[in-house]
Amino acid sequence: MDKSVLALTNGLSPGLGFAIMVGLGVFLLALSFAIKTTLVRNTHDFIIADRKVGFGFGVGSVIAVWTWAMAVMMSSAMTYQWGLSGVFWFVVPNGFAVIAMIPFARILRRNMPQGYTISEFVKYRFAHSKVASGIVTLTMIFGILLEILINLKGTSVVISTVFSVDWKVAAIVGIVCVLTYSYFGGLWTSVMTGTLNTLMVTVPAAIVVAAVFEHVQGGAPAVFDAVAAANPRNLSVLRPDAAAGFGITLAFGLLAATVADQTFWQKVWAIRGPEVSRTFFWAGALFYPIPICLGMLGLVGIAFGLTAADIGGDIAAVGPYVVSHIGLPLALVILYVLSILAACYSTIDGASAALSSVVAVDIVKRYWPATKEGPLFVITKLSMLLGGLVATLIVLSGVDFTTLVLTTYALKTSILLPLVLAILWPRTNTVGFVGGVALAILIGMPIYETQGELIGTLSIVAISGITVVIAGYAGSARFDIASLRRVGDDIASEAPAAIAQPAE
């Protein structure tokens, strides 16, 4: 296929790009005002939605926060880079990571019904250890900042690729739009707007991807033949280089990204108790089609023989480039941009809501427990703005945020197994937990740096897990997880209308 036929769709002006970004933001802001007026009274409502998030909103919002810019753009990029093996290794662990939350979520939602954050669980699980809970709090904050950073970057990539807008301006407009609407309603806003964004990520994406193949001369069969001609291995899901190159490492990273992420734990404690397990199952299963659908754009990139230079140097832009250059009508390009923006906005929004819970519960209430409801509510809301500001400054500074990525990766991968064992294994103790994380970073990270991602990741996971197990058998204490039922509500300024009691 001749890539010289690819040309930017007419009418994609910078003004249109800004109008789409701001228009979506204003629509969500109007929704946010209505939600604030109707459903939010205090900090408890703001950060945990009074634990009344039902099944439908649970499924929609979990899909929304998991549909990162990564899922919508990197699925195309991985397909473009590795063929079907790329989308295979990108997609299969992605949905499973959400489903893998079920056993842990079920245990903590049942045994700690008044919980808010995973750091709060660690605090009570390890006898108020400031080191243990501090490590987890720090990990959550780094993880949240990274989520905002990556999705902000995603917003700027798509807007700058499609509308030729300066990526820095796009990043600023994007963060202002998201923070403006998420500031007002907290978790309820995040849940409702996120669920609506799930609709915008799915149906428009399906129509646009089908339309792209409609606009290729010869349609899907021609793309199929061209991809095979470029390299027959592109049509196989069994390329070992894709598995070793990124697949296995990504699988562990994705597990850490859910199990060790407050964005998901906030949902666990906000969703109605009986709905938690099936919510995470439905969300994981229903998430799968989104990256599979958008990943198909990567095949078009291969078929046309696009190079990284053709699409601006960043292969994440292959999807936006194909959609905006294949000859689609302007309306369909706008629909695609709205899909990507919906994914980015909802993830940033969800991350900001998670940050508000960490700040309220793990920082303000922990270190200044006498803080009254009024100031707490203000601080909680301002923390979302602060998080967005910090992330934006990092993106705008142009610095390579590899250090932040690596630090977050090291912390998340290091706490993955200790956290899992803290939930599942009564013998897990403070020494093992803290020692496991510390040794995994001190020994595992140098291995990661010198031996590569695969060996490094496996080493980090193994070191942290083995340390916890050794310390557990060395000690005699056993933790009764049911004792967490005595943990009170650290935030509620007034008694919640109804406190759910789990059945045995």
Partner 1 sequence: MSTIFTLIVILGLIGAATFLVGFTKGVREAVSEYRNPQPEGAWSDEGHYGLSALFAVVASAVVIALVGVAPAWIYAGPLLAIVTATGVGVAFLVGNRRPSAAPGPKA
What is the footprint of partner 1 within residues 375-434 (CB under 8 A)?
A: none
Number of residues that bind partner 1 (CB under 8 A): 81
Note whether 249 and 410 are within 8 A (CB): no
DSSP letter for each residue of 278-335: HHHHHHHHHHTHHHHHHHHHHHHHHHTT--TGGGTS-GGGHHHHHHHHTT--HHHHHH
Query: 261 - beta bridge partners?
Result: none
**454 makes contact with partner 1 (CB under 8 A):** no
Place of tokens 């005002």: 33
Of the listed pieces 193-201, 249-257, 307-315, 413-421, which binds partner 1 according to CB under 8 A? 193-201
Note whether 148 and 351 are within 8 A (CB): yes
Of the listed pieces 98-106, 143-151, 246-254, 470-478, which binds partner 1 according to CB under 8 A? 98-106
User: Which residues ranging from 463 to 492 are in contact with partner 1 (CB under 8 A)?
Assistant: 482, 485-486
Strands (E), 143-277: none
Counting every residue written for the chain, the total comes to 504
User: Which residues ranging from 118 to 157 are in contact with partner 1 (CB under 8 A)?
Assistant: none
The nearer residue to partner 1, 291 or 444, going by C-beta atoms, is 291
As a whole number of angstroms, the distance between CA 73 and CA 79 comes to 10
The nearer residue to partner 1, 147 or 275, going by C-beta atoms, is 275
Of 95, 416, 104, the closest CA to residue 281 belongs to 95
**284 makes contact with partner 1 (CB under 8 A):** yes
As a whole number of angstroms, the distance between CA 30 and CA 23 comes to 11
Of the listed pieces 135-143, 174-182, 211-219, 312-320, which binds partner 1 according to CB under 8 A? 211-219
The nearer residue to partner 1, 163 or 269, going by C-beta atoms, is 269
The nearer residue to partner 1, 135 or 216, going by C-beta atoms, is 216
| Binding-residue pattern over the window 249 to 278 for partner 1, x denoting contact by CB under 8 A | -----------------------xxxxxxx
Q: In whole angstroms, how close is the CB of 218 to partner 1 at the nearest point? A: 10
**501 makes contact with partner 1 (CB under 8 A):** yes
The nearer residue to partner 1, 8 or 500, going by C-beta atoms, is 500
The nearer residue to partner 1, 195 or 249, going by C-beta atoms, is 195
As a whole number of Å, the CA-based R_g of the chain is: 23
As a whole number of angstroms, the distance between CA 182 and CA 268 comes to 20
Note whether 416 and 428 are within 8 A (CB): no
Q: In whole angstroms, how close is the CB of 64 to partner 1 at the nearest point? A: 10
Q: In whole angstroms, how close is the CB of 459 to partner 1 at the nearest point? A: 26
**295 makes contact with partner 1 (CB under 8 A):** yes
Of the listed pieces 52-60, 172-180, 252-260, 443-451, which binds partner 1 according to CB under 8 A? 52-60
The nearer residue to partner 1, 221 or 305, going by C-beta atoms, is 221
